[in-house]
Chain A
Amino acid sequence: MKIKESLLSRRDFFTGLIYGSLCSIAAYIAYPVARFLFHEKKLPLPKAVTMTMADIEKLAPNSSAYFQYGYLPGILVRTESGDLKAFSAKCTHLDCNVNYNSDTKTFHCACHDGYFDINGKNIAGPPPTPLPAFTVKQEGDVMVITGPEEGGEKIKTA
């Protein structure tokens, strides 16, 4: 029944009320469930990590070592000339850890055969972007690794 002044009939009104209530019940259930499932806070990456010079000195020229940069694995390389370079060890294709190959002086990701040169640049295979680079600086008897470099590749976070 719909009276002249009314926008909608009584039946429409109650149908709307029922559907509206059902939707709000669904929202009441869905919201806490969604919050529950997405509870994990994004961990901030540290501003810097340090390594002792003693550890650094153990690293022979043309070799590499892994380090933890917050939740990211990092890779530190001493080049043949003795320079230190550090990168995120996560392949920019699908997140596998890369390996430093001292023979070819490249980083290799075994998951889908991706290659990066010694400067972290993607040179072959599917990786779309270079490895994000860190800054390595000596401060007293520790080596401070900060990253990613200004203007460099951004580290991929979720």
Chain B
Amino acid sequence: MEEQNIQVKKALDERLMLGALIDLARKKLVPVHKHTIWYYMGALLLILFMIQMITGPILLFYYKPAAETAYQSVAEIMVKVPYGWLLRSVHHWASNLMILVAFVHFFSTFLVKAYRRPREFAWLTGMVMFLLVLFLGYTGYTLPFDERAFFALNVGTDMPGAIPVVGAYVLEFLRGGAQVGAHTLNRFFALHVGVLPLALLAVLAIHIILVQMHGMSIPLSIEKKAQQEKKKIPAKPMFPHFVWHDAVNGLVLVGLLFTLAVCMPSELGSIIDYLKPAPVGVKPDWFFLWVYQILKWIPTYVLGIEGEIVGITGLAMVAAVIFCAPFVDWKSQRNERSPLFTAFAVISLTVFLVCTAIGFFF
């Protein structure tokens, strides 16, 4: 038996070169320092993405993507289909956790300036994925086509309408017409289950390859300290040490995910009535609360320009600066301390946290 096993292993190894992969993982060293914890976020995101890629298609077995049937089919998934409630809730919570971990991954890499040379493209692909994940979350919560989805669709598709010149086209493209309706649902469905996941998969492949090629980024402060003390930064092999940590983290995450799904199953609001006012206290999902709060605060007119346009243009400009951080943060690129960008990152994080909290509690 033992000999047979060895033979099978040998045969597989010859064809799939598993040994080479494990060797590679063993040779790959991950630096160990006080910021090592942030290295775990990528693997968590990967695990959550895989959960979404499994639960999503399963939900499609029963979800009927049309304006007349969507709401009813989600209701059926929740009450009639055995364990439908569990699968939908897992999909719902996994998306929430994915966005949460994506925020942590984003802010941590931003604060330690992991975008420094030669990791510019890892940063750009990461930012594209971040936007895709947010858009996936947004398109996902409109699919039940309930009341909340209707107002989220109205507000969310109206906002890009404020972009100068192309706004009207973007709005029409997203809505599939002048108003939110049956066509909008079809478009959001196509985006959520087709376009966005495939795009995410493609960019993810590039991101992972780049991260493997360059290795983990070490924060400048730690590099400098090691240089001063003429010490080498300690490192551990990826396999088995970090794979083991990732596995344990993943297990805890899955435990948390199922606990949330069982204790707080995802909800379904009331059915859409195009002639009903927006319910009092209607709010977007937590990950857009900060945008909601900023839009609520902005005065009707700022320097004679409509508040909506000012708000959206402002947010887009901040996003653009963050997106291009590796190309505008010259100091970091020269491996110097860059207090301006540290402040920018800290302010962004504070605004995000404070606005989210205010949006949530008030």
Chain A residues engaging chain B, CB cutoff 8 angstroms: 37-38, 40, 42-43, 66-68, 71-73, 89, 91, 93-99, 108-113, 122, 125-128, 157-158
From 232 to 291 in chain B, residues with beta carbon under 8 angstroms from any chain A beta carbon are: 274-282
C-alpha spacing A38/B307, complex, angstroms: 29
User: By the criterion CB–CB under 8 Å, are B159 and A94 in contact?
Assistant: yes
User: By the criterion CB–CB under 8 Å, are B176 and A40 in contact?
Assistant: yes
User: By the criterion CB–CB under 8 Å, are A40 and B281 in contact?
Assistant: no
Q: Indicate with 1 or 0, residue by residue over B155-196, a CB within 8 angstroms of chain A CB atoms.
A: 101110100000011011101111111010000000000000
C-alpha spacing A98/B1, complex, angstroms: 74
C-alpha spacing A66/B275, complex, angstroms: 6
Q: Interface size bucket, B side? A: 35 or more
Q: A126-B300, A128-B301 are in contact. Are A94 and B173 (CB under 8 A)?
A: no
Q: A31 to chain B: closest CB distance in Å?
A: 15
Which chain A positions have C-beta within 8 A of B277?
Answer: 89, 96-99, 108-110
C-alpha spacing A89/B276, complex, angstroms: 9
C-alpha spacing A125/B278, complex, angstroms: 15
Known A94-B159, A97-B277, A128-B306; further 18 A-B contacts with Cβ < 8 A: A43-B178, A67-B275, A68-B274, A71-B181, A91-B278, A95-B158, A96-B277, A97-B275, A97-B276, A109-B278, A111-B278, A125-B296, A126-B298, A126-B307, A128-B300, A128-B301, A158-B175, A158-B179
Q: A89-B277, A110-B281, A126-B296 are in contact. Are A42 and B154 (CB under 8 A)?
A: no
Q: Indicate with 1 or 0, residue by residue over B297-322, a CB within 8 angstroms of chain A CB atoms.
A: 01111000011100000000000000
Which chain B positions have C-beta within 8 A of A89?
Answer: 275, 277
Q: Can you name 13 A-B residue pairings with CB atoms under 8 Å?
A: A38-B173, A40-B172, A67-B275, A93-B308, A94-B295, A96-B277, A96-B278, A97-B276, A98-B277, A126-B296, A126-B298, A128-B308, A158-B161
Q: A36 to chain B: closest CB distance in Å?
A: 11
User: By the criterion CB–CB under 8 Å, are B308 and A158 in contact?
Assistant: no
C-alpha spacing A71/B307, complex, angstroms: 26
B40 at the interface (CB under 8 A from A): no
Which chain A positions have C-beta within 8 A of B341?
Answer: none
Closest to A97 in B: B277
User: By the criterion CB–CB under 8 Å, are A127 and B158 in contact?
Assistant: no
User: By the criterion CB–CB under 8 Å, are A126 and B179 in contact?
Assistant: no
C-alpha spacing A111/B282, complex, angstroms: 6
Which chain A positions have C-beta within 8 A of B274?
Answer: 68, 73
User: By the criterion CB–CB under 8 Å, are B177 and A95 in contact?
Assistant: no
B323 at the interface (CB under 8 A from A): no
User: By the criterion CB–CB under 8 Å, are B177 and A42 in contact?
Assistant: yes
Which chain A positions have C-beta within 8 A of B295?
Answer: 94, 112, 126
B292 at the interface (CB under 8 A from A): yes
C-alpha spacing A74/B155, complex, angstroms: 18
C-alpha spacing A109/B278, complex, angstroms: 7
Q: B230 to chain A: closest CB distance in Å?
A: 54
Q: Which of B181, B278, B299, B306 contacts A110 (CB 8 A)?
A: B278
User: By the criterion CB–CB under 8 Å, are B308 and A94 in contact?
Assistant: yes
User: By the criterion CB–CB under 8 Å, are B171 and A110 in contact?
Assistant: no
User: By the criterion CB–CB under 8 Å, are A97 and B278 in contact?
Assistant: yes
Q: Which of B169, B173, B179 contacts A72 (CB 8 A)?
A: B179
B85 at the interface (CB under 8 A from A): no
Which chain A positions have C-beta within 8 A of B292?
Answer: 112
B151 at the interface (CB under 8 A from A): yes
C-alpha spacing A94/B176, complex, angstroms: 17
C-alpha spacing A125/B159, complex, angstroms: 17
Which chain B positions have C-beta within 8 A of A40?
Answer: 172, 176-177, 183
Q: Indicate with 1 or 0, residue by residue over B324-335, a CB within 8 angstroms of chain A CB atoms.
A: 000000000000
C-alpha spacing A32/B304, complex, angstroms: 40
What are the 7 closest A-B residue pairs judged by CB atoms, nearest first? A99-B277, A66-B275, A158-B178, A96-B278, A40-B177, A95-B154, A110-B278
C-alpha spacing A129/B171, complex, angstroms: 20
User: By the criterion CB–CB under 8 Å, are A111 and B155 in contact?
Assistant: yes
C-alpha spacing A43/B169, complex, angstroms: 15
Which chain A positions have C-beta within 8 A of B171?
Answer: 158
User: By the criterion CB–CB under 8 Å, are B275 and A43 in contact?
Assistant: no
Q: B191 to chain A: closest CB distance in Å?
A: 11
Which chain A positions have C-beta within 8 A of B279?
Answer: 110
User: By the criterion CB–CB under 8 Å, are A96 and B151 in contact?
Assistant: yes
C-alpha spacing A22/B282, complex, angstroms: 49
Which chain A positions have C-beta within 8 A of B169?
Answer: 38
Which chain A positions have C-beta within 8 A of B154?
Answer: 94-96, 111
Closest to B176 in A: A40
C-alpha spacing A42/B175, complex, angstroms: 11
Q: B96 to chain A: closest CB distance in Å?
A: 22
User: By the criterion CB–CB under 8 Å, are B173 and A37 in contact?
Assistant: yes
User: By the criterion CB–CB under 8 Å, are A96 and B155 in contact?
Assistant: yes
Which chain A positions have C-beta within 8 A of B157?
Answer: 95
Which chain A positions have C-beta within 8 A of B151?
Answer: 96, 111
